[in-house]
Amino acid sequence: MKGTILVTGGAGYIGSHTVIELAEAGYQSVIVDNFSNSSPEVLNRIEELSGKKVPFIKADVRDRQALKGIFSEYDISAVIHFAGLKAVGESCQMPLEYYDNNLNSTIALCLEMQAAGVKRLVFSSSATVYGDPERLPLTEDMPLSATNPYGRSKLIIEDMLRDLPAADKLNGSDTPWQAILLRYFNPVGAHKSGRIGEDPKDTPNNLMPYISQVAVGRREKLSVFGDDYDTIDGTGVRDYIHVVDLAKGHVSAIDNLLSDNPVTGVEAINLGTGNGTSVLQLVNTFAEENGVPVAYEIAVRRPG
C-alpha cells in the first residue's frame, strides 16, 4: 500500500470516483462526509467497485474534534479536500452559508492537519476563480477575480493556503506545507459500471443530471438559462471533463505530493479538456445518442 489518504466529501460525486481511482492506484482511503448531498449507499458501491474496505466517519469537516480523532486513529499521509457547498447560483442566494461552510471547514481541516504534522493537501478548487476572463483558453498565470460567493470562497481558500508555506519559511519549519490546487471546470459522466454517478438529492445544480432526470421522466423539462450569449447557439458554453479523468487527476496530484520530487509550496493546475460545449449541443447530443427526447424551455439568465 502506498499510503493512507483522507478524503473529505468522499461520498460525493467527485469524491467517490476519486476513492475508487485511489484504490486502483494502491492507496487506502479514509472518508469523512456528512451526506449533505450524497447517500450512505455510495459507500457500499465504493467497496463493491474497489474491492477494498474503506473506513468512514460521518462528520461535518468543521468539527475539529472529529478531525482530531481521525488523525489520531489513522496514519494519514495526505489529504484531498472536496467537502463544501458548490452551486454558483445558490451561493448568490446564500452567501453566508457558503462562506461559513467552505472557509471554516478548510480552516478546521488545516488546523488539525498541522497539529498532526500532515502538511500535504490536494484542494478541490474551481475555474470560477478566474471570474469573467478576457481571453481563452484559461491558463494558471491569468488574473484571478471571482464573480460569485462560491468562486470567492475558493479564491480566499487558495490565498490562505499560499500563506501557510510562507509562514513555515518564517518559522523555520522542517516540514513545510505542500498543496496542489486543482482548478477544474464542469465534471460530467459516471463510472463505467454505472454503479455510481451524479444523482443529487434535490434539484440538480449541474446540467447533466438535470438532463438525465428529464430523460427518465423525473422532471417535466429542462430550464436553459439564457439564449442570448455570444456563442454558437446563444446558450452558455462550458468545458466538460469526465469525472473519472478528473478523479485520476487527483490521484496524480497525490502521487506528486508523496514522490521524491514533490511540488514546492503551493501550485495551481487547471483540469479540463480545453474544448467548449454549449447547453443545447449537450442536450441534443444526449437525446441523439440515447434515442430519447429531452424537453426544454428557455429561461432568463441565472445570477453568478
3-state secondary structure of 57: strand
182 found inside a domain: yes
Supply the range of the domain harboring residue 29.
4-190+240-271
pLDDT(138) > 70: yes
Buried b (16+ CB within 10 A) or exposed e, 204-239: bbbbbbbbbbbbeeebeebebbebeeebeeebbbbb
CA-closest candidate to residue 188, choices 24, 17, 304:
17
pLDDT tens track for 38-86: 999 999 999 999 999 999 999 999 999 999 999 999 999 999 999 999 9
pLDDT tens track for 2-35: 999 999 999 999 999 999 999 999 999 999 999 9
pLDDT tens track for 92-127: 999 999 999 999 999 999 999 999 999 999 999 999
Task: Verify whether residue 150 is a known catalytic residue.
Answer: yes
pTM as predicted: 0.95
pLDDT tens track for 246-262: 999 999 999 999 999 99
pLDDT of residue 204: 82
291 found inside a domain: no
Q: What is the DSSP letter of 268?
A: E
What CATH number does the domain containing 149 carry?
Answer: 3.40.50.720
Burial classification of residue 180, based on how many CB atoms lie within 10 Å of its CB (0-12 exposed, 13-18 middle, 19 or more buried): buried
Cis peptide before 303 (omega within 30 of 0): no
Q: What is the DSSP letter of 129?
A: G
184 found inside a domain: yes
Total number of domains in the chain: 1
pLDDT of residue 239: 96
Which residue among 13, 150, 184, 210 is the active-site one?
150
79 found inside a domain: yes
296 found inside a domain: no
196 found inside a domain: no
204 found inside a domain: no
300 found inside a domain: no
Percentage, residues of the chain above pLDDT 70: 99
pLDDT(201) > 90: no
